[in-house]
A and B are shown apart, each in its own frame.
Chain A
Amino acid sequence: MNKNMNNTARYFLIVLLVTFAFSCNKLDEDPDTFAFATPGTFYSTQTQIEGGLAGSMNKIWDSWVGYGYDEAAFVNDDQLDGGNLVIGDNHADELWDAHYASLLNLNAILSAIKNGSLSWDPDMTPEMIDPLVAQAKFLRAFNYFYLVRMFGGVPLITEDTPDPTLNPMPRASVAEVYSLITEDLSFAENFLPEIWQGMPGRPTLYTAKALLAKVHLTMAGYPLNLGIPEYTMARDKAWEVISSGKFSLIQNCEDVFKSSNKYSSEMLFSFNSTYDDLATDPQIWTSEDYGDGGWGDKATDPYFEQNWPAQPRKDAYLLTDWNGMHYTEFYEQTPFFKKYFFYISMDDFNGANSPQNIPLLRYPDVLLIYAEAANQVNGSPTAEAESRLDEVIDRANGHVANVNHPLTSGAALSMQQFDDRVLQERSWELCGEFDRWFDIVRKRILDSPAVTYRQEDLINFSTDDYLFPIPEIDQTLNPLLEQNPGYTDFRPGTAK
């Protein structure tokens, strides 16, 4: 019996060994040793941080000029065709999403650097690190500048904000958002280089100064309405760019948007584009009658064209006829902004390949900011302001006197008249660059018949239209977020 018992015990031992002593595989997935990267360990080299910067820009370009079609949020200005001042509850949701997606990546970069992600590398001196931080801060300011102008005060998330999905936060005030923007841009103008050798797509200290000028100009107007001090800052920052002598207008306006001038003396910042990464599909932006056929999605309001006097710039910027056909005979019966499709080869156009950059900040913008701000600060046009405005008008006229569009020099204009002329010039010169809506907002002129041309649209006007609605999903998930006036409040428990 004992012997048999021993045998049995032995059998069981064998069985247990074979069955349960097998080499158990580890169940833990270790992010550091495998083929994927986590935000916690990324951003530890300069190239990874630059990859993060590229990624942050990738998050927004498609919404603005790609297939996102989200620039349709600006259809109520007086340039894009369509829009009746009925602004729905999800009017600019996609732009909100896109800018915050960009910000997530920028804050992650700033947070990682702050926590010493680069400190393992002795080669990464402060001189190396500061420009990286400055780029991230520039882009963060850029994003918040768009958000604050569209939505007003928004949740203000920085590298120091605890996880916003776990810690609901209220909207910051408009002033608080601007405060972060100016702080970030001040850092950027101090730590960005004058030039990125061989890398003309990146922001330089002049890009930061130009954007800062635009920020101050906006702060001077609505909604903060801070007036003279901000106009002064705007004028001075614009002057720093102008007086640097690094920038100038391209001689002929028909050359401005040529692909060869992507990084010309007048481009400060743009959505960059290559054949590998197209910034837009040119077919979206033009008529079915152009080339082998556009889609006619983004048309220009015919009123805008009708109020624009004949001049070389108009021909260079607007497609008003094609193949002997006037735009009234186009399928869409509207003109189109040429800068998105006209200056590329027909092969590229028909193949939906546009290596065209989409300008975001151009030198004429800086000139006009200067002109506007200097006029405001002085109470009347200064000679310098006039000559900056004239510089833009002169190029627009092909450097030939144009009775329909005369220069200001010599004509004694009041402050208001000059201001109006600058604003008009901004609208033509920067047409289709999503600048006009923000001018309308800061000047509070949406209800002017010159802007909202159609009486039937005007009855829909309300001052609430100057801000877009906070997205429903954010309100539902965070009851601390108040809605802008005039829109449905989606917070749980609020009356619909």
Chain B
Amino acid sequence: MKNYLFLGVFPNKKCLQKILLIMRLTTIFLILATFQIMAIGYGQSGMIRFTDEAQTLSAIIEAIESQSDYKIFYKTDQVDVTQVVNLESDETSVSSALTSALKGTELTYVIMDKLIVFAPADNLLQPTKVTGTIRDASTNEPLIGVNVVIEGSNAGVISDLNGQFAIEVRDEKSVLVFSYIGYITEKIPVAGQSAIQVSLAPDITSLEEVVVVGYGTQKKSDLTGAISSVKGKDLVQLPMQRVDQALQGRAAGVMVVNQAGAPGSNTTIRIRGMNSISGGNNALIVIDGIQGDNLNSLNPNDIESLEVLKDASATAIYGSKGANGVILITTKTGKAGKSVLEYSLNYGFQKIRRKLPVMNAVDYAMIANEIAALNNKNGTPEPYYTNEEIQGYRENGGTDWQDEIYRTAPVLNHQLSASGGSEKIRYLISGGYLNQQGILINTNYKRFSLRANVSANITKKISMGLNWAGSKESGNSTNYGNSGTFLSSPVNLAPRWSPTVPVYDAEGFYSDPRDGYGPYDTHNPVAGAREPEIILNTIRNTVNAFLEYKILEGLSLRITGGAITRNRNDFSYYNAKTYEGRPKGGLVGYGTIDEGLSTTYQNTNLLTYDRTFGANHHFTGILVAEQLVEKFNGSNLDATNFLSDKTGIYDLSGAALIHNYSTRDERVLNSYLSRINYSFASKYLITASIRADGSSVFGANNKWGYFPSGSVAWRVSEESFIKTMGLFSDLKLRASYGVTGNQGISPYGSFAAMTSGVNYPYNGYDATDVGYAIGRVGNPNLKWESTAQTDFGIDVGVFRGRLSATVDYYIKNTDNLLLQSDLPRYSGIKTKLANVGSTRNKGVEVSVSSDPFVGKFKWNSGFNISFNRNTVVDLGGKSELTYKTTQGGYGLNTAFMRLRVGEPWGQMYGWECLGTWKQSEAEEAALYGQLPGDQKWRDVPDAEGNIDHKINNSDIKVIGNAMPDFIFGWTNRFSWKSFDLTVLLQGSQGNDVFNMGRIRLESMGEGSSTRMLDHWTPTNQDTDVPAFIDYQTRTAAGLVSGRINMKEPGRNSRWVEDGSYVRVKNITLAYTIPETLISRIGITRLRVYFSGTNLLTFTKYSGYDPEVSSFNSSDAMMGIDYSNYPTARTVTFGLDLTL
């Protein structure tokens, strides 16, 4: 006799055979249990001879196996083979022998082919049928696909499209178990009932929820890594136009900063701080498995779920692209059953949050005259404005330039989707149209998006699917922030321009700045906003097809092929009325054309094995081979000196001067990866993964990188000693470690290369000569930046899941940073890209979710807070890197923002402003060659503690830091009857913003800020606005000179402000019209709402908005507010309709 049910009995056979047999047996038992096949004795011809009449069951089994082809199986816990049975005859057929042997026992048997199975007879009692309907306890809607199983057996059914089920039970004592993802499992004893009505309550903790992870899904309870998950329906709860914006404040560890308020502008998303100095810190975006897609073009309504992978256990599976975290997005698919048609509309108005306080025309003219009076070197100077003029402003007012360029702008959003399907095929088709006008005149953004997701079961084993998404984005926006020159930037100039100047001059042309006081060298802000014609077009196509083949039970293969193509086609033309296109020698205009095509191809071959062995061993393994090819072709040009302003950039032949550029590159990534998840009794969980990435951009000596990770988790709540406490619905401890990479190397970056564009008219006369020069040296050792991350986490759920929390601590060490390392300059090349340098990020993130009220009045609340501390550890031998944070005109060319070894990111360096000298401090001021009323600076003591009474480079110190101490988000959802109210608060604490615009808004020769009125006078000494001191007074004071020697004095702490804020990001009040009112006209659901975005912001920051970042080419330059497009407040009305 062989007991086949123990794995260990096949020591000499190959693993494969073993697995095969086990699978076969398991199948048989499944069939038995599920279909309740009754024991049927086939007429068996072979006679068996038994040696004794009274035998043990095991002896009978052995006799049958040895004398026939039959093999006998049983479950050892159900069948006691040592019991003594009676045989009626010592030579008989197999069937009659078994019948007589089992008579009087609780066992019966089944013969299938050459297999005989023993089982307890009470499994095989006459069934009775139980039916019923399963509904959602809160909405009373029928639930489709609920699992109904008889407790203690494998027998089960699922509920149908109407939420109905029918199951046969054999025992009145049976208990039915109703389970459904997202709902609390119910157990109901049959107790003789033939009809059972079931209500399932939504599971607040959602531990059974399935979470998308890289290359697969996992039950939330089985996760060992740090992953934040946001449901699509939560994202679109608030009327946001963009996914990245909707993500703000939603997930712990995720910092989202709107770089500017312009429609269609970018956001910075950082997951657990920033690792890289030059390689980029953008998270990898993966949409339906396709890597490298973009969030801007994605219609938020198409999202089923969004997951943020944070720790190495979750991200290492993305290897050399995973270091900055991964955002996984899964788009919706149709569900089998009734077709659903959904339409939603919202329409809103946006307004500037606040205007910068500037002087009116009268104050402005009087301040200008005060300044004019200072220049009394050669007698009494002429005032800039006559009394008559000032009187005129008093009567007629002046120009409010901010009113001239900002407006109330509408935003319109339509969404239509249809979804549905059958057992065989499921579909979702959706379309969206967004038209957002900007609050700055002549700015807008439009997005058309279309999606079709279709999947079909071709055979029982093979399914296929196709997701296609297309979008067209178009927009128009003039210069703002750090793009272009401030000489023509309306955002910069509007608050600075003189209110005494009208928009148009007497001839109807755009006015010029008035001489004397004010920004004399700049261009009319209204012209700068209205006249440029900028047309930005981007068309994206994402196609993604898959074929899935269930090879064997638990083993499946999924082959995915996808492509993203992005076509950009941008035009701009600045006519003769603009600064850029102003006439030169009878010719006018300036224009650009920028075209590019980028394509990404991805093929992923994914083999998944997912099985449970015995009651307690659950194993999942994946094996993946993947290839990714990215290509880019682009060309652009700029043209100036057009003969005709009418045709402009659309007739390039009319341009006298054109500069052309073009480029092409390609990168390839070949990868192999594997991951194993093992869980024992859902208590002890282990995950291990490894990815090997071969990348074309890595240097010849480092073509392949390897990225391992491992993590463990212990679900303490599954231990009996915790279970008996009855307090914890969930308690899990997690730990993970892993290595990820960042391949911020441009294609061919490891090679020495010639660069073009170094032209020079070497031959003479009028034509240039195309020049080539050696642009960089090669580095065959170039490789990825590597980030090793350790994470410890704890998940807690109490009060049946009504209160749950997740806390994570992490530390990330990034090494091999890609930095330009110095070469001796006599080599002719200044630097070489090399893997030097390190940074570190440490942090804690906490998220709490709770349901304080679950009755008729419901309150659901989610709070998250994140603390991140980053440090520059090594810069490859350099002590600091410095960043230029100006485009000229603001005196920040050198080293205002720095990355220094041992210091955090975002350090601002400059002089500390201590306000102004008081009259009582006249003697001390004189030591610096200053008078009372002059700006007072911190004179930093030297190493010996002495001060030198000079303000120069040695007094430069840290005057601010752009990194927040913490960021947080708090979502609240209240519902009562048909009303629901959602409130999202979000904020940042402890970050400084350098309000660069103030340098000139409050400057002596041109300032327009109302702060100018607060300038120092003997009666107003408590101010940081310096006094207006005239030439003669200053000369008469006979002060020492040369004491104040500040190069670029704009870098001082007077402009550093606390950028902390708390914001009611969104508040939405919705009313769902009762079904009874609308069902008769065929509407399933109708919800109307009123919503406000950015309605309230609590901050001390004096600029347009504290959430601002003007320089985004490096994270080392965050926290500067330089003429950025102001963020708007928005009120929106909307409706959601479901047919």
Contacts and interface: CB of A to CB of B under 8 A. Distances in A.
11 contacts: A15-B557, A36-B754, A104-B828, A105-B828, A201-B762, A202-B763, A273-B761, A276-B767, A277-B759, A277-B761, A478-B824
Contacts of B381: none
B337 to A, nearest CB: 33
Given A24-B670, A277-B768, A53 B828 contact: no
Contact of B762 (A57, A108, A163, A275): A57
Given A31-B748, A34-B666, A108-B774, A154 B826 contact: yes
Interface stretch (A176-184, A344-352, A363-371, A426-434): A344-352
Contacts of B828: 100-105
B103 interface: no
- Top 10 A-B pairs, shortest CB-CB distance: A104-B828, A201-B764, A55-B773, A54-B771, A55-B771, A351-B584, A347-B585, A199-B763, A37-B754, A54-B762
B760 A202 contact: no
A19 B822 contact: no
Contacts of B750: 29
B625 A20 contact: yes
A337 interface: no
Interface stretch (A4-12, A317-325, A459-467): A4-12
A38 B668 contact: no
Interface string A147-158: 000000011010
B772 A51 contact: yes
A272 B623 contact: no
A389 to B, nearest CB: 30
Given A22-B605, A164-B827, A473-B822, A351 B585 contact: yes
* Most A C-beta atoms less than 10 A away, residue of B603, B765, B767, B825: B825
A276 B659 CA distance: 8
A61 B20 contact: no
A27 B825 CA distance: 32
B664 A35 contact: yes
B854 interface: no
Nearest to B699: A29
Interface in B729-778: 747-748, 750-754, 758-774, 777-778
Nearest to A101: B828
A358 to B, nearest CB: 12
A309 interface: no
A34 to B, nearest CB: 7
Interface string B764-801: 11111111111001100000000000000000000000
B795 to A, nearest CB: 34
B829 A275 contact: no
Contact of B754 (A39, A164, A200, A202): A39
Nearest to A16: B607
Contacts of A18: 557, 559, 605
B751 A29 contact: yes
A26 B623 CA distance: 21
B703 interface: yes
A8 B20 CA distance: 8
B1019 interface: no
Interface string B698-710: 1010010000000
A434 to B, nearest CB: 18
Contacts of B666: 34
Contacts of A200: 763-765
Interface string B943-982: 0000000000000000000000000000000000000000
A19 B824 contact: no
Interface string A32-62: 0011111110100000101111111111010
Contact of B772 (A34, A55, A101): A55
A15 B657 contact: no
A101 B24 CA distance: 74
A277 B551 contact: no
Given A58-B773, A101-B829, A274-B766, A22 B627 contact: yes
A198 B766 CA distance: 11
B223 to A, nearest CB: 26
Given A18-B559, A201-B764, 18 more contacts: A25-B668, A27-B696, A29-B697, A35-B665, A36-B754, A48-B772, A51-B772, A52-B773, A59-B758, A97-B830, A100-B826, A164-B824, A201-B765, A202-B762, A272-B760, A276-B759, A277-B761, A474-B826
* Most A C-beta atoms less than 10 A away, residue of B698, B753, B762, B832: B762
Contact of B774 (A19, A105, A277): A105
A199 B764 contact: yes
B764 A272 contact: yes
B17 interface: yes
B747 A29 contact: yes
**Secondary structure type dominating chain B contacts:** mixed
A11 B554 CA distance: 13
A263 interface: yes
Contacts of B555: 11
A345 B585 contact: yes
Contacts of A100: 825-828
Nearest to A8: B20
Contact of B773 (A59, A163, A347): A59
Interface in B544-590: 551-552, 555, 557, 559, 584-586
Given A8-B16, A276-B768, A25 B607 contact: no
A53 B769 CA distance: 10
B505 interface: no
A146 to B, nearest CB: 14
A38 to B, nearest CB: 5
Nearest to B778: A38
B188 interface: no
B623 A19 contact: yes
B824 A201 contact: no
B117 interface: no
A263 B762 CA distance: 12
Given A18-B605, A272-B760, A272-B761, A96 B748 contact: no
A282 interface: no
Contacts of B24: 4
B694 interface: yes
A471 B760 contact: no
B643 to A, nearest CB: 15
* Most B C-beta atoms less than 10 A away, residue of A29, A53, A350: A29
Contacts of B761: 54, 201, 272-274, 276-277
B17 A5 contact: yes
Nearest to B666: A34
A222 to B, nearest CB: 24
A397 to B, nearest CB: 31
Interface string A180-201: 0000000000000000101111
Interface string B486-521: 000000000000000000000000000000000001
A272 B668 CA distance: 43
A471 B824 CA distance: 9
Contacts of B822: 473, 476-477
A101 B625 contact: no
Contacts of B670: 24-25, 27
B205 interface: no
B455 interface: no
Contact of A5 (B16, B552, B700, B759): B16
A19 B557 contact: yes
B825 A25 contact: no
Interface string A100-130: 1111110010000000000000000000000
A180 to B, nearest CB: 14
A88 interface: no
A273 B767 CA distance: 9
A350 B826 CA distance: 38
B137 interface: no
A50 B762 contact: yes
B1093 interface: no
B385 to A, nearest CB: 23
Contact of A37 (B21, B551, B695, B753): B753
Contacts of B441: none
